[in-house]
Amino acid sequence: MKTESFNVPGISCQHCVNAITNEVSGVDGVKTVAVDLASKRVRVESEESVSRETLTAAIEEAGYDVSPFDQTIALN
């Protein structure tokens, strides 16, 4: 398992939270999605096989840009 964090400055309301959560949750291998409206960050726990690019694409598919904030944490 690993955890990835994304800075998504376009998050401004509960609709944004729901749209991102629904899109990212649909990616195979994603276990949990937490969208923090106050910090405008998305945290995703997933299988090791899920790439950061795939998760970024899912956030973008929901209609939001990902800013260059990078954090990956491997959980053993």
Q: Note the pLDDT tens digit of each residue in 17-45.
A: 999 999 999 999 999 999 999 999 999 99
Statement: residue 76 has pLDDT above 60 = no
- The domain total for the chain is 1
- Cβ neighbours around 72 below 10 Å, total: 9
Cα 67 versus chain centre, distance: 12
Render 21-70 in DSSP notation, one character per residue.
Answer: HHHHHTSTTEEEEEEETTTTEEEEEE-TTS-HHHHHHHHHHTT---EEEE
Is pTM beyond 0.85? Reply is yes
pLDDT band at 6 (very low <50, low <70, confident <90, very high): very high
Judge whether residue 74 has pLDDT over 80.
Answer: no
* Residue 58 pLDDT class (50, 70, 90 cuts): very high
**At 11, which CATH number?**
3.30.70.100
